[in-house]
Amino acid sequence: MDHFNYQKGELYAENIPVKQLAATYGTPLYIYSKATLLRHVQAFKEAFAGRNGLVCYAVKANSNLAILQLLAKQGIGFDIVSGGELARVIAAGGDPHKVIFSGVAKTEAEIEQALLAGIYCFNVESAQELDRINAVAARLNLVAPISFRINPNVDAKTHPYISTGLKENKFGIPIEEALGEYQRAQTMRNIKIKGLDFHIGSQLTQISPYIDAIKELKRLIRQLYGSGIQLTHLDIGGGLGVTYSVEAPPLPNELINAAYAELADLFEDVGTLQLIVEPGRSIVANAGIFVYKVEYTKDNLDKNFAIVDAGMNDNIRPSLYNAYMNIITVEENPSADIKLYDVVGPVCETGDFQGKSRQLRLAPGDLLAMRGSGAYCSAMSSNYNSRPKCAEILVDDEKAHVICQRETYEDLWRNEHLLDEAS
């Protein structure tokens, strides 16, 4: 469920016509719904009701300060993968003590930044990273809280670019080497072991891969306890999918209930661990739409094109992943014929498309909206072809807030410098 619905044939964002927002703020335009965003957060919080759990939003999905601010006010934590994301979380009012630092290439500067901020935990992805964290913590005379991200070699059954839990992927420590790394960490004076983490992929539409991973890691946890290493949490990562087309992913409570059911026997033996989940897409994707204008229609004899003012620099997901995202008209246009269109943009790449073979009734000047655009769209945008980045708007009932201004041409070269004339 989201709050982008038609009223008398016209698309609304909560209680504001999308056409009105496009006229006021221009296109292409990202529009987010506050009510939808908070509803999705609440679904995860309710799934943990009466349980020892922590929701950590995956900042990479959408790192806009206003989005992070709204989430911080809900009392949840954050999963980050860079020092920049940590700085954003703190700037937005997030609690660094609820921050988990993931990612395979943490620099010394980022580790120091996180230690000084007092984050909850590092998710360690390699033996060398453990050594680096220990060395930085020793230099600062601090103790670094860590968990290990374990690669359980479980197939997430998702797109290969966003599958992260197989041996062929760059993420995590192989489960076969995990016990030795935990034992090594236990001997380090500047390391405190907190838990165990896995994240097997993104856009998961089944619970079974999560359960398969938990089964693998239960055996490891028993080994850890048998060797005297105790944990305080188990982090099952994020990756819960959303509906872009016909997908029917499980709800947050279905995932959390299934995880607790699988963990029941383990918790009886070692005690209840805090369960951590790191949703990103499932919180913010369907809280956003991407609106753009049809500049031209073009018939190349074998193909109909709707040429829009949004390019792969604005939303790269269709080009990068061949991702299907639902494209709808903002207003009905009964005077136009229904045709099968490729919706393409202005960027000089054949791969610049927003959708292919879409049955639409449209004409030049019409507005289209792409559903499910709250995650991994504006966050991955660029200035390719020297195109200014889009504005982003947050709708709250009948109010619209500019949460990111549209870039100007001058913004494109703000950090660049001409050579001196003498050069």
Specify binding-site residues for substrate: 281, 317, 321, 349, 376
Identify the CA nearest to 282 among candidates 237, 318, 313: 237
Buried b vs exposed e over 223-249: b needs ≥16 C-beta within 10 Å? ebeeeebebbbbbbbbbbbbebeeeeb
Dist. CA 79–CA 87, nearest whole Å? 12
Q: Residues at the annotated binding site?
A: 239, 278-281, 317, 321, 349, 376
Query: In a 10 Å sphere around its CB, with 0-12 CB exposed, 13-18 middle and 19+ buried, how is residue 370 labelled?
Result: buried
Identify the CA nearest to 362 among candidates 382, 340, 378: 340
Q: Are 128 and 111 in contact (CB under 8 A)?
A: no
Identify the CA nearest to 262 among candidates 224, 223, 225, 219: 219
Residues recognised as catalytic: 348
Q: Residues at the annotated binding site for pyridoxal 5'-phosphate?
A: 239, 278-281, 376
Is the backbone peptide bond immediately before 28 cis, with ω within 30 degrees of 0? yes
